[in-house]
A and B are shown apart, each in its own frame.
Chain A
């Protein structure tokens, strides 16, 4: 059962209803400490000011980027590529993980290769992907999908292996065929950990898409970041990165809610 936790965050005892008042205190404190520490570091003059700018400069950069129509056009491009990457990588990774997790034979044969190839930086494959998918958004989608594929496989396989054996025995006693077992037992039981696997894969897909945009492109947020750094416009670069993190945060919150709801719906919380 503990193995089923895999990469799940929704499993396990929930520490009571999440009261907004309660969490505000620690979060505020953490924010004050972190921001205050940064400001102190920036103002101390110990570090190169252009790269460690004070909060005012960061705010100004952020504001300039948010007001720039060009940024939102870039953001739409990157967002589209990211969506494609998560869909392709998530579905492929999930399906492969499902296969590996439900078959000890396949797992013993192939899972270690996925684990070993997982940590290689996929950006090396980018020239091959450009060859296959062209110089446009296609290669960026492919890059993100490849980056997202590996953690999806591993987390899905772990989740599948953690499915309650009782459920599987029940399915067998009903003489369920393989695809019925997959659809009616494995899939519902793993939706919550799957969604959390997607959260993790999403992060890697984002990095993959952005890095690909820094390598060969003429649009997208990654391209904008590279341009900003090339001109040493650090406030703009930080503004872009902050917006990217903000976007990642928003998606994460949505996916987190979805995972909790799915876990609740399938009765996996205890």
Chain B
């Protein structure tokens, strides 16, 4: 049934695309602001041939992977620390909530100076932006573990470390995966955003260049590729989560 639903969703999306195609042709949507989906699709081969799309795709994916991976690792560790020491949690959890709303990306000149005109700047900004939501998520996940599980662990004589490995982490795993999803989302948005802003590297820089050149089909095709990066990551993530749960 799930497959059927998934297919239905795909058909609805395809239907919306067809509707857009018709609306542009009918003049309802301005063709000089939103190009026809057929033109966008036609632009893809041109991008691959002329704009080193494959290597740009890999650069963006790589930067996202680095930022999301780092922020998940560091964020989960920080979350565990905040959970473990309630004084730290009381002191700093609100701070992380504030940072989650801070427009760090606007301070990109600072990061440029600190880390240079390179992928490092992109990754650092994305990492810093993705970290607070991951920390908040991890703390919430650990705190939501059912007390009965912890009590059971303690009655079996588990020490702190063992308790973390065998009770807390597995029980909080869904939360950790949600955190990883958040890290990917914030990470990719910021990676592409920074690439776009400072015109460096992967797909974000390509989007900037194509829009400056007024190549609308190309611009939207490049955006489509960003969606593809996103889809790839999430498909892998979902698969990984399912596999881990089966091992469970």
Interface residues of A (CB under 8 A from B): 1-9, 11-13, 15-16, 18-19, 22-23, 25-27, 30, 47-48, 51-52, 104-106, 108-110, 112-113, 115-121, 123-124, 127-128, 131, 150-151, 154, 158, 199-200, 202-203, 206-207, 210-211, 225, 229, 234, 237, 241, 244-245, 248-249, 251-253, 256, 270
In chain B, residues 159-189, which have Cβ atoms closer than 8 Å to a Cβ of chain A?
Answer: 171-175, 178, 181-182, 184-189
Task: Report yes or no: A124 in contact with B219, Cβ–Cβ below 8 A.
Answer: yes
With contacts A2-B172, A26-B92 known, is A252 near B101, CB below 8 A? yes
What total of chain B residues lie within 8 Å of the partner, measured CB to CB? 74
Contact B103 A210, beta carbon cutoff 8 Å: yes
Majority secondary structure of chain A interface residues (helix, strand, loop or mixed): helix
- Is A23 a contact of B87 with CB atoms below 8 Å? yes
B110 contacts partner chain A, Cβ-Cβ < 8 Å: yes
A264 to chain B, nearest CB (A): 15
Assess the A121–B193 pair: CB atoms within 8 A.
Answer: yes
Q: A51-B113, A203-B100 are in contact. List 18 more A-B contacts (CB 8 A).
A: A3-B175, A5-B144, A7-B178, A47-B113, A109-B5, A109-B8, A115-B185, A118-B189, A120-B189, A128-B33, A150-B185, A199-B97, A202-B101, A206-B103, A207-B103, A248-B101, A248-B102, A256-B94
On chain A, the residues within 8 Å of B110 by CB distance are: 51-52
Q: Contact between B98 and A12 (Cβ–Cβ < 8 Å)?
A: no
Report whether over half of chain B's contact residues are helix, strand or loop; otherwise say mixed.
helix
Supposing A26-B91, A200-B133 touch, asked if A207 and B105 sit within 8 A by C-beta, the answer is yes
Q: Which residue of B lies closest to A52 (CB)?
A: B113
Contact of B93 among A1, A9, A47, A241 (CB under 8 A): A9
Asked if A128 contacts B140 (CB within 8 A), the reply is no
